[in-house]
Amino acid sequence: MGKYIEVELGVKLYVEDLGQGEPVVFLHGWPASSRMFEYQSMLLPQKGLRFIGIDFRGFGKSDGPWENYSYDRMADDVRAVVDKLGLERFTLVGFSMGGAIAVRYMNLHNEHGVSRLILAGAAAPRFTRAEDFPYGAPVKGVDTMINDTHKDRPAMIEAFGKQFVGKQPSKPFAQWLSTICLESTAHATVRAMESLRDEDLRGDLPAITVPVTVLHGVQDKICPLELAEKTLELVPQAELIRFEESGHAMLFDEPDKFNETLLALLQ
């Protein structure tokens, strides 16, 4: 069932909370919402697990304040939801931007309540290239996406969606994914992308002590496989599971493998 949880004065996040058993908290990618995990929201409760999907501020059904879309603020929002739900031992699953925020949560909140971390196509250690980090997306490319959002957000999302999956999606699927992304506010879309462009997690990753599994598509054009490899250098205990036939969204490109892997990790 869906519920709203206040994370700061006047700002409520939408949270989908289904099933009973061990909690599994899902953090979505940019610029989608927890609806991108709808297949997992049906599967996990059938397997005796509790699915919890959080819509970040400004995305999905959550409130969209004008400011505060930093990794710190969104990690604080996750902590507020965790505390409100009384979660003590849960698996945290972060996809793309959600993976970046999961990493910041682990450091900023001392891994509060997390027993296992799963990073899927995560935008870590950082999303964009820097002088000392020649991996990831070029900053100019991100700036172009931000400018395109100001000019024609639906067209930007359609173009982004074509990179999102490695296999050619059906037209209904592409429309479904675009609809989810268009539910986000325009300003959150821009401000969260600015955070993706500017923030760095190289100082956060070494602080992680819980078991970590990194899931990554070999053909990922948004967060290239090199990012996963660099994450493993900073988190020595992490395990990498490669999705050979997947682009960025392995949960759509190889759904059976993704779900089987997820369930195996949760046993």
Tens digit of pLDDT at every position of the chain (267 positions): 899 999 999 999 999 999 999 999 999 999 999 999 999 999 999 999 999 999 999 999 999 999 999 999 999 999 999 999 999 999 999 999 999 999 999 999 999 999 999 999 999 999 999 999 999 999 999 999 999 999 999 999 999 988 888 888 889 999 999 999 999 999 999 999 999 999 999 999 999 999 999 999 999 999 999 999 999 999 989 999 999 999 999 999 999 999 999 999 998
pLDDT number for residue 13: 98
Say what the pLDDT of residue 113 is. 98
Closest Cα partner for 112 from 86, 132, 133?
A: 86
Is residue 222 within 8 A of residue 121, CB to CB? The reply is: yes
H/E element, 182: helix 171-182
In this prediction, residue 95 carries a pLDDT of 98
Order of strands, sheet of 22-27, starting from the edge strand that comes earlier in the sequence: 2-8, 11-18, 49-54, 22-27, 90-95, 114-120, 212-217, 239-243
State the catalytic residues.
Answer: 96, 220, 248
On the 0-12 / 13-18 / 19+ scale of CB atoms within 10 A, 26 is buried
**Letter string b/e over residues 206-239, b meaning 16 or more CB atoms within 10 A of that residue's CB:** eebeeebbbbbbebbebbbbebbebbbebbeebe
Q: What is the pTM of this model?
A: 0.98
2-265 CATH pick, 3.90.660.20, 2.30.40.10, 3.40.50.1820, 1.20.1050.10:
3.40.50.1820
Query: Nearest 10 degrees: CA dihedral of 141, 95, 208, 41?
Result: 170
pLDDT for the residue 247: 96
